[in-house]
Chain A
Amino acid sequence: MPHAEHGTSRHSHGGPVEIRRGVYYKNLWLRIGNGPADARYMDSAIAGKLLLVDVKGEVKEFSGGNVHGSYGVNFAMPDEGFYNIYLVNESIRDGLRQINVAKSEVLKHSCREGHDHVKPLMAPRQLDTIPLEIVRERFPAENFHTLFGYGDTITFLVLRQGVPLAGAEVTLHTGRGWRNTVHTDAEGRASFMMIRDYYPPWHEFERRHRQDYVVSAVYASDASGETAAGRYTATRYVSTLNGSYYPSERDYRSYAYGLLLGTFALAFTGIAVYLYRRRRQRRFHEVRFDEKN
């Protein structure tokens, strides 16, 4: 489960980054556990293949290491858009082949680069060589600034070697430990409505409070075979993808108060002008002088 908050220097859309000579660098750390609530950082490297797919779709294999005290990766993000990072780990124990895929989708965006180029960069990408991959589908009008909130439904596509996989078990883990498990439909899709997971006192409420989630997909295969690590009679695939969501605007925005204030200002100004005009009206007043006086 890659994680992206652990000693940073700058913030851009897509999370904190380091900037060296004008180029954005991202730090990601690997965490292991049952969800964001109890996952721990890794002290040492984990065997596996690290792949980076950049904005142009080029695939690079690279290695991780000690990043600010924990095992992680550091990579450059020279172009605007989404970068996919995969860690594929494989082992065989007691004839069971276990393939773990940790994926993270990282956005690099700075408003200084403008927003005209965003649309073609929004489409999610997949890597067909990945044994089991989770892809988050985009919202219809999603852009680099779109934040998901409570009540939004996020759809994930589960792919087995690039092909949609039906019947895979998909579990969403929220930051406080809530879980929900569903199975992918015939097109390999699984959807979750995000639940509220943030209950601070009113005065401590932050509308940009980031809540992490991890979605995992599990798929088992009975196919037997042999690899360099040995023979196996069954395979279990586990894939994870992390993300974040935010408080919903519905939680802190009020139409009632807004319209009340607007209507009050409108009515008050209208009545004030009306009364002002009435007060300044001078009725015709005839004064008669009696010549006798």
Chain B
Amino acid sequence: MKRIRDAVNGVDLRRFRFWLQLFFFVLLVYGGYMAVNLGQYLPTFACGFNDEGRGGICYLLPLQHQLAMSWGTLFGWAGLMVLQGFLFFALWFFVLNKGWCGYVCPLGTIQDWITSLRTRLGIRYSRYTEGQFRRLSLIKYLLLALMILIPLGIGGALLPHDMGTPFCDICPGRMIIPMFTGDFSQLTIDFSSKTTMVMTALGMLVTGLFLAGAFFKKRFFCFFCPMSALHYLLSKPALLKLKKDGAKCTRCGDCYRVCDMEIREIADEVKEPRIMQDDCILCLKCVAHCPEQGALKATFAGIPIFESTEQGFIKRMTKGHKDEQHHE
């Protein structure tokens, strides 16, 4: 058992994550061609606009559709259907918690690939100042609120029906993910009404911003993702958790430096064992880069599945050097 645990704790997380992300990317973007259908309540950006290839549908699409029903219907028997959808979404989510972002989300994977491209080109990445970080972190809650309120406004005949899926209209996933199956039809401006014209124009602007932003800033879009905000509101009872033993932390700051989301608390917080913040994507890079035995750990249903160890840290840190020596 100890050998298995040592092997897991010493895993090359970067490689493991790359292959797992690739697997989920193929499953969710091309799964439809292999008759995979994981339903329409997935807590990740499996874009519903990827008509033929999708292996499931992001929950935000049906949620917005459902909330745009007339109030009489929504607050009647159909409300039960909305609750049922939310329950399915929550059940999916409870399994992986925000690991859906770090390991499953196709849009997150695309951002990681763009980051790899930048790294290979030798261009340095950008970071936010603490003030910028605090302010930008709030945008996802604003988007979440708008994503719920706008469809509700449509249901009450207060807003035009053309805004039925407001977040999908501006989500870069709508434009980018279908392109992987050869569908470029979302790269258009819809002139059929003023509302659709504005929303699709915003969508294209956000897409351009996404591509450039993800190039300079790791996981650029995840700061603004309303799905991430929705995740955080449900994350406490989830099975997969990130924990910190503050007594073992030396505050070396390695975890903060490797964090794609620049979460400062991961290094600074030494009192609260439940360290996961709203921006966390549970990529577990912090655990992999922590040299202190058991200071950071990922647990599933209370059972530690991956924890920081000195041996694992040394193994991962010296891997490249060993290869270089070997080549020499």
Contact = CB atoms under 8 A, between A and B. Distances in A.
Interface of A: 111-112, 114, 116, 141, 202-203, 205-207, 247, 249, 252-255, 257-259, 261-270, 273
A203 B195 CA distance: 11
Interface string B177-199: 00000001101111111101000
Contacts of B126: 273
Nearest to A276: B126
B208 A269 contact: yes
8 contacts: A207-B190, A249-B188, A253-B190, A259-B187, A259-B204, A261-B189, A269-B209, A270-B215
Nearest to B70: A10
A207 B193 contact: yes
Contacts of B208: 261-269
B211 A266 contact: yes
A265 to B, nearest CB: 3
B201 interface: yes
Contacts of B207: 262, 265
Contacts of B40: 114
B126 to A, nearest CB: 7
Nearest to A253: B188
A262 B204 contact: yes
A264 B207 CA distance: 10
Q: 8 smallest A-B Cβ distances: which pairs?
A: A265-B208, A269-B212, A207-B192, A266-B208, A253-B188, A252-B192, A261-B204, A257-B189
Contact of B212 (A205, A249, A257, A270): A270
Given A253-B188, A255-B187, A269-B212, A261 B81 contact: no
Given A258-B200, A270-B212, A270-B215, A265 B190 contact: no
A255 B179 CA distance: 14
B204 A258 contact: yes
Identify the interface centre among B175, B184, B187: most chain A CB within 10 Å of its CB.
Answer: B187
A265 B40 CA distance: 31
A116 B37 contact: yes
A254 B184 CA distance: 12
A254 B189 contact: yes
Contacts of B146: none
B52 interface: yes
Contacts, number: 82
A207 B195 CA distance: 12
Contacts of B206: 265
B210 to A, nearest CB: 9
B78 interface: yes
Interface string B202-221: 00111111011101100000
A253 B205 contact: no
B257 interface: no
Contacts of A247: 192
A252 B190 contact: yes
Given A265-B212, A269-B208, A258 B187 contact: yes
Contacts of B184: 255
B65 interface: yes
Identify the interface centre among A116, A205, A252: most chain B CB within 10 Å of its CB.
Answer: A252
A21 B205 CA distance: 46
Contacts of A270: 212, 215
B191 A266 contact: no
A264 B206 CA distance: 11
Identify the interface centre among A247, A252, A259, A261: most chain B CB within 10 Å of its CB.
Answer: A261
A254 B212 contact: no
A273 B189 contact: no
Contacts of A265: 204-209, 212
A269 B78 CA distance: 44
Contacts of A114: 40
A249 B193 contact: no
A290 B57 CA distance: 72
A257 B190 CA distance: 9
Given A249-B188, A266-B212, A267-B212, 18 more contacts: A114-B40, A141-B52, A206-B192, A207-B190, A207-B196, A252-B191, A253-B191, A255-B187, A257-B201, A258-B200, A262-B204, A263-B208, A265-B207, A265-B212, A266-B211, A269-B209, A270-B212, A273-B126
Contacts of A257: 188-189, 201
